[in-house]
Structure 1
Amino acid sequence: MAKIAKLEVIPVRAPGQAVDDLDGTVDTVIVRVTDENGVFGIGETDAPPEVVKAFLEMPSAHNWSRNPIDLLIGEDPLGIQGLWQKMYEGTFWPGRRGLGIHAISAIDIALYDLVGKQLGVPAYKLMGGARREKLTPYCTIYPGLAHGRSIRDLMAEIQRQFRTALDIGFRAVKMEVLFYDLVSDRELVDLIHEGRAMLGPDILMAVDFGYRWQNWYDAKWVLDRLGDCDIFFAEATLQHDDLAGHAKLAANSPIRIGGAEAAATRWEILEWLERGKVAVVQPNIARGGGLTEIKRIAELAELHGAQVVPHGWKTGITSAVGRHFQAACPAAPVFEYISPQVFDSVLRRELVSPEPKVVDGFMELPTSPGLGIELNEDLVARWRVDRR
């Protein structure tokens, strides 16, 4: 195996993007790991690009505060799990959770892409092989924050995105209801019923509440009135770190409770499973530890009778990672997929290619080496923040 020769950190930001919304596709930080023969793999993380770049390029201070790039140069990339541990231990002091794990996640993903290309196999085969014959993505439906629009305007946009997703071939969606003070809880119940009526009874439907409630009783009041909507899971109901509230809601809700989209590593997910008692954990693969750690998380979830549905609102790199994750992990019934045909984002649409097709709700297993995607080098050259 050719050894690691170079690691590059590339912050990218699309120009002219609004900062007063909740669109994680407006920027990214790409990590490119290149071997001695010039073969490279790419990964990304959903964290401030300039901050991740600074972390990955910081000088070493001592054994617990090492430069992550220096730890990898000259190493055999095939030992991905060993390299993950080496980076985790070497950045223990400034890392361990949060930004340090976000940065390691991008490197870990890039290593799977690189090694897959070196061996000529898809990345999921490096995770133990396929555990299913086809993939099941769900399409996230997000109309954007209100910004002066009425609730009828937002529902009209949701309906348009519903129709587009179903026309493309999706048979599973997630309705984002980040309406906040624009509607009361009682009105929110009616709007979710309206969303279910738009979809019909045969489409899998999840709902993202955007951390609407401070108290689990209020969340329960709404969920109790949605029993006839056949909702697969309720995401972001309470404040993210309110594990006690999640546990009480999970014990009393007629709908699966999801959470942990901002959690990092299996250790934090364990807290969500044992203290939060959620039925669905949703860590972002590109923030929570990469493919190495999400496989451990999936195995942990199986032991606790839970499922893993990773957060995936980013570029096509993260979308590709989601495909390989679901291929290899049986505890993942669906995975989040941001369709560039449904939600307009130039980075999501143009950063990487090709875009897989959805047919009758399913995608085929990836067959190309590594992640199976190609980076748009011209776009990166135009929009990388550190060279403008």
Structure 2
Amino acid sequence: MKITDVRAHHIRIPYDAGVASFRQGASAITGLDMVLVEVATDGGLTGWGDAFAYVCPRTTLTAVEEMIAPQARGLDVPDAAGIPAVMEQIQRHLHLFGRYGITMFAISGLDIALWDLAAKAEGVPLHRLLGEARRTRLPAYASLLRIGTPDNIAAECDKALRLGYGAIKLHETTTAAVYAARKAIGGDTPLMVDMNCPLSGEQAIAFARECREARPTFLEEPVWPPEDFATLADVRRQGGLDIAAGENACTLHQFRQMMAAGAVSHAQPSVIKVGGITEFTAVAAVADELGVRIVPHSPYFGPGLLATLHLMSVRSDGLVEMFYLKRAACLWRGAADTDSDGNITVPQGPGLGYEPDRDVMEQHRVA
């Protein structure tokens, strides 16, 4: 079975996050941009992947069309054991364009699609190719967008708990926000704080110490630049809190550097950024060796979400991140949403488990 074509689809689904906002610079973002990667074969099977594209969809789409498609067309579809070698060769061919960022986002999309095809060829759900499934339902946490005011933060935390979520993550940078959330959710509910890389090492240490009584599970990416792993390790040692990072890291190589530096207690590979399922599984293996927990970056709603569910189903613990917002449509007809207990069911169909709704794709396609 050979790959006959690789197509990239730019889909934008509007959302409503209430009092919260998602911004790029001074601009508010009101739609979830996705670049779906469709891999067609002469055997009639189609694989689906997902390349990170929240604020760079046209750039990611072009990378898939100009860099990935020419590499993939005409290739024999590998089985699961053969995918890593194929993807390493493609990484080698494209390393001139960077080992991080857009190039790896595009590579991630192809890798996920190849794993989807490999599982479909065997007629099994993807997790069967990854190991023994330990969980069929995964706990999700509500990943709140930036809100700002303590009163609104408390109100949104309360709403999320009433919807069944058992853990909360903030995207805030003030101690007032952290303590408002802790007061709203009580002492037993896990609380995480994603800072998105704003502080120096000294500032981050001070912030961590000020937040200790609120007992966050971890501070996520408190330091700029995110690849300053030595400073991140200092914050972890001196701040008195666990540290999470990794959504901005690509490839096993960078994660190995991060974990070897002692920078993180929780590693956060993003399957649509890191290099796909192949790199994610390699990162998870090293994390297990070094005693670092895996809590993936996964606030997305395309094939990358389904891939994350399969990857986490073969692990005995770890939460799935879900943006706390209302979408105008769902590619999976609601099948990959959280239930009333805040859990998501792992798909059991062949490959990723669900096929995207073509009608939704057409309705929300960006020309």
**For this pair of structures, how many residues does the alignment match?**
354
Higher mean C-alpha deviation, range 33-42 or range 101-110: 33-42
Q: CA deviation at 1:107?
A: 0.8
Q: CA deviation at 1:207?
A: 0.9
| Pairing partner for 2:162 from 139, 160, 167 | 167
Q: CA deviation at 1:189?
A: 2.2
The whole-number CA distance in structure 1 between the counterparts of 2:88 and 2:14 is 36
TM-score normalised to structure 2 length:
0.86
Amino acid paired to 2:10: P
Task: Summarize deviations over 1:243-278 as a string: whole Å, max 9, x none.
Answer: 221111111122111112111000011121123521
Amino acid paired to 2:170: M
Matched, 1:234 2:241: no
Higher mean C-alpha deviation, range 83-92 or range 26-35: 83-92
Q: CA deviation at 1:378?
A: 2.3
Task: Summarize deviations over 1:75-133 as a string: whole Å, max 9, x none.
Answer: 12323223212221222222433222111101111122222223222211111231446
The whole-number CA distance in structure 2 between the counterparts of 1:111 and 1:24 is 31
Gaps of 5+ in 1: 59-65, 179-187
Query: Which residue in 1 is equivalent to 2:294?
Result: 308
Query: Which residue in 1 is equivalent to 2:77?
Result: 76
Task: Summarize deviations over 1:173-199 as a string: whole Å, max 9, x none.
Answer: 212215xxxxxxxxx323312211111
Amino acid paired to 1:169: G
Matched, 1:243 2:225: no
The whole-number CA distance in structure 1 between the counterparts of 2:61 and 2:252 is 24
Q: CA deviation at 1:222?
A: 2.3
Q: CA deviation at 1:32?
A: 0.6
SS at 1:350's partner residue? coil
Which aligned segments of 4 or more residues in structure 1 are displaced greater than 6 angstroms? 15-18
The whole-number CA distance in structure 1 between the counterparts of 2:31 and 2:253 is 27
Matched, 1:203 2:189: yes
Higher mean C-alpha deviation, range 8-17 or range 122-131: 8-17
Higher mean C-alpha deviation, range 116-125 or range 68-77: 68-77
Whether the aligned pair in 1 keeps the contact of 2:38 and 2:113 (CA below 8 Å) is yes
The whole-number CA distance in structure 2 between the counterparts of 1:278 and 1:381 is 41
The whole-number CA distance in structure 1 between the counterparts of 2:210 and 2:10 is 45
* 1:117/1:71 CA distance change after superposition, 3 Å: closer
Q: CA deviation at 1:282?
A: 1.6
The whole-number CA distance in structure 2 between the counterparts of 1:36 and 1:250 is 51
SS at 1:226's partner residue? helix
Query: Which residue in 1 is equivalent to 2:202?
Result: 217
Task: Summarize deviations over 1:10-57 as a string: whole Å, max 9, x none.
Answer: 123357998645759531211011222332121111132222232233
Whether the aligned pair in 2 keeps the contact of 1:245 and 1:276 (CA below 8 Å) is no
1:326-337 equivalences under 5 Å are: 326-330=312-316, 333-337=318-322
Whether the aligned pair in 2 keeps the contact of 1:319 and 1:337 (CA below 8 Å) is no
* 1:165/1:372 CA distance change after superposition, 3 Å: farther
* 1:96/1:357 CA distance change after superposition, 3 Å: closer
1:1-388 equivalences under 5 Å are: 2-14=1-13, 20-21=26-27, 26-47=32-53, 48-58=56-66, 68-78=69-79, 79-132=82-135, 134-144=137-147, 151=149, 155-156=151-152, 158-178=153-173, 188-214=174-200, 216-239=201-224, 240-275=226-261, 277-330=263-316, 333-338=318-323, 342-346=324-328, 349-353=329-333, 354-358=335-339, 360-385=341-366, 388=367
* 1:38/1:310 CA distance change after superposition, 3 Å: same
The whole-number CA distance in structure 2 between the counterparts of 1:167 and 1:119 is 41
Whether the aligned pair in 2 keeps the contact of 1:138 and 1:334 (CA below 8 Å) is yes
Amino acid paired to 1:344: K
Give the share of equivalent positions with the same residue, in percent.
25
SS at 1:110's partner residue? helix
Amino acid paired to 1:37: G
Q: CA deviation at 1:162?
A: 2.1
Task: Summarize deviations over 1:280-310 as a string: whole Å, max 9, x none.
Answer: 1223110111111101001111122211222
* 1:18/1:244 CA distance change after superposition, 3 Å: closer
The whole-number CA distance in structure 1 between the counterparts of 2:122 and 2:280 is 22
